[in-house]
Amino acid sequence: MILLSIRGITYAQQSFYDLEPDLDHPKKLPFMTGLIVWKASLFYICEVKIKPLHSFFFSIKFTFMKKSFLPILTLTGVFILFSLAGCKPKNAGDATGSDAASRVYVPPGKYDELYNFVSGGFSGQVSVYGIPSGRLLRVIPVFSVNPESGYGYSEETKPMLNTSHGEVPWGDQHHLELSQTNGEIDGRWLFANENNTPRVARIDLKTFRTAEIIEIPNSAGNHSSPFITENTEYVVAGTRFSVPMDYENGDVPIDSYKKDFKGTISFISVSPKDGEMKIAFQLLLPGMNFDLSHSGKGPSSGWFFFSTYNSEQAHTLLEVNASKRDKDYILAVNWKKAEEYFKAGKGKKVPVKYAHNTYSDTSHSATSSIETESTIIDAKDFPDIVYMIPCPKSPHGCDVDPSGQYIVGSGKLAALIPVFSFDKIQKAIAAKDFDGDYGGIPVIKYESALYGEVKKPGLGPLHTEFDGKGNAYTTFFISSEIVKWSLKDLKVIDRHATYYSPGHLMIPGGDTKKPYGKYLIAYNKITKDRYLPTGPELSQSAQLFDISGDKMKLLADYPSIGEPHYAQAVSAELISKNSTKIFKIEENKNPYVTLGEPKSKVVRNGNRVDVYMTMIRSHFSPDNIEGVKLGDDVYFHLTNLEQDWDVPHGFAVKGANTAELLVMPGETQTLKWTPQIAGIYPIYCTDFCSALHQEMQGYVRVSAKGSNIPISFSLGKNSEAADSLLKK
Choose, by CB under 6 A, the member of 59, 687, 701, 715 that binds ligand CUA: 687
Residue 396 touches ligand RUQ, criterion: CB under 6 A: yes
Across-strand partners of 670?
Answer: 637
In angstroms, the Cα distances linking 107 to 101, 104, 380 are 12, 10, 58
Question: Do 540 and 527 touch, CB atoms closer than 8 A?
Answer: yes
DSSP letters, 169-230, are: ----B--EEEEEETTEEEEEEEEEEETTTTEEEEEETTTTEEEEEEE-SS-SSEEE---B-T
Residues 6 or more apart from 662 whose CB is under 8 A from it?
148, 149, 150, 648, 649, 650, 651, 669, 686, 687
16 vs 688, which CB is nearer to ligand CUA? Answer: 688
**Least CB distance to ligand RUQ at residue 225 (A):** 10
Query: Which among 559, 545, 438 is positioned nearest to 127, based on CA atoms?
Result: 559
DSSP letters, 485-505, are: EETTT--EEEEEE-SS-EEEE
SS (H, E, C) 367-408: EEEEEEEEEEEEHHHCCCCEEEEEEECCEEEEEECCCCCEEE
Residue 462 touches ligand RUQ, criterion: CB under 6 A: yes
How far, in Å, CA of 193 to CA of 177, rounded? Answer: 9
**Least CB distance to ligand RUQ at residue 299 (A):** 26
Taking residues 159 to 178 in sequence order and writing x for each that binds ligand RUQ by CB under 6 A, - otherwise, the string is: ---------------xx---
Residue 689 touches ligand CUA, criterion: CB under 6 A: yes
Question: Do 129 and 582 touch, CB atoms closer than 8 A?
Answer: no
The footprint of ligand RUQ on residues 28-87 (CB under 6 A) is none
22 vs 623, which CB is nearer to ligand CUA? Answer: 623
Residue 309 touches ligand RUQ, criterion: CB under 6 A: no
Question: Do 3 and 67 touch, CB atoms closer than 8 A?
Answer: no
- CB neighbours of residue 610 within 10 Å: 17
**Least CB distance to ligand RUQ at residue 503 (A):** 3
**Least CB distance to ligand RUQ at residue 158 (A):** 28
What is the helix (H) or strand (E) element at residue 81, kind and residue range?
helix 70-85
SS (H, E, C) 435-480: EEEECCEEEECHHHHEEEEEECCCCCEEEEEECCCCEEEEEECCCC
Residue 221 touches ligand RUQ, criterion: CB under 6 A: no
The footprint of ligand CUA on residues 626-655 (CB under 6 A) is 649
Residue 252 CB burial class (10 angstroms; 0-12, 13-18, ≥19) = middle
**Least CB distance to ligand RUQ at residue 664 (A):** 32
Choose, by CB under 6 A, the member of 693, 701, 703, 715 that binds ligand CUA: 693
Question: Do 121 and 563 touch, CB atoms closer than 8 A?
Answer: yes
Report DSSP state, residue 516.
-
**Least CB distance to ligand RUQ at residue 563 (A):** 9
Q: What does 649 interact with, of ligand RUQ, ligand CUA, none (CB < 5 to 8 A by kind)? A: ligand CUA
50 vs 507, which CB is nearer to ligand RUQ? Answer: 507
**Least CB distance to ligand RUQ at residue 686 (A):** 35
Residue type for position 118: V
Residue 565 touches ligand RUQ, criterion: CB under 6 A: yes
For 52, the 3-state DSSP assignment is helix
Q: Please choose, out of 180-188, 388-396, 579-587, 685-693, the segment that lies near ligand CUA by the rule CB under 6 A.
A: 685-693
Query: Which among 67, 46, 33 is positioned nearest to 2, based on CA atoms?
Result: 46
Q: What does 174 interact with, of ligand RUQ, ligand CUA, none (CB < 5 to 8 A by kind)? A: ligand RUQ
In angstroms, the Cα distances linking 689 to 640, 665, 700 are 12, 12, 22
Residues in the chain: 728
Choose, by CB under 6 A, the member of 359, 438, 476, 566 that binds ligand RUQ: 566
Choose, by CB under 6 A, the member of 235, 280, 685, 700 that binds ligand CUA: 685
How many chain residues touch ligand RUQ (CB under 6 A)?
A: 11
**Least CB distance to ligand RUQ at residue 482 (A):** 13
Q: What does 356 interact with, of ligand CUA, ligand RUQ, none (CB < 5 to 8 A by kind)? A: none
Q: What does 696 interact with, of ligand RUQ, ligand CUA, none (CB < 5 to 8 A by kind)? A: ligand CUA
The footprint of ligand RUQ on residues 347-366 (CB under 6 A) is none
Residue 379 touches ligand CUA, criterion: CB under 6 A: no
Largest Cα separation within the chain, whole Å, is: 100
The footprint of ligand CUA on residues 599-628 (CB under 6 A) is 618
Q: What does 689 interact with, of ligand RUQ, ligand CUA, none (CB < 5 to 8 A by kind)? A: ligand CUA
Q: What does 462 interact with, of ligand CUA, ligand RUQ, none (CB < 5 to 8 A by kind)? A: ligand RUQ
Interacting residues toward ligand RUQ by CB under 6 A? 174-175, 223, 292, 396, 462-463, 503-504, 565-566
Residues of this chain that bind ligand CUA (CB under 6 A): 618, 649, 685, 687-689, 693, 696
